[in-house]
Amino acid sequence: MKSPVGMVIGLGNRRARIGLLDLNAKLSDEPAYANIARYFGCTPLPRVPTYAAGGYYYAEDSLGRLESELSSYIDQGFDAFKIKIGGAPLDQDLRPH
């Protein structure tokens, strides 16, 4: 079994490698994901699917606030969202607005 010290050093080495790859990408004026993909022998994808996460519950919650939040994500270019559910009573979460 590997010692805890060895595991910490191993984790540090991986973090340092990713940090160096990130630095190399900045120096090459390219996205880090492209530099990292090439390092591992892969072809970088021209686009990487992402989503905006939000919709968390706040004391001043309202449907208007949620609509505003999701609209801001659309303005930023997102077309997929992951929103929080389950923080309100079930009948409130299921209610159509």
Whole-prediction pTM: 0.51
pLDDT at residue 35 tops 70: yes
CA dihedral 26, 27, 28, 30 (to 10 degrees): 10
d(CA 85, CA 37): 35
pLDDT in tens, 38-61: 888 999 988 878 999 988 877 677
- Name residue, tokens 């050093």: 9
65 and 84 in contact (C-beta within 8 Å)? Answer: no
Give CA–CA dist 91/16, Å, rounded: 49
Task: Show the tokens assigned to 70.
Answer: 């999701």
| Alpha carbons 64 and 70: distance in angstroms, whole number | 10
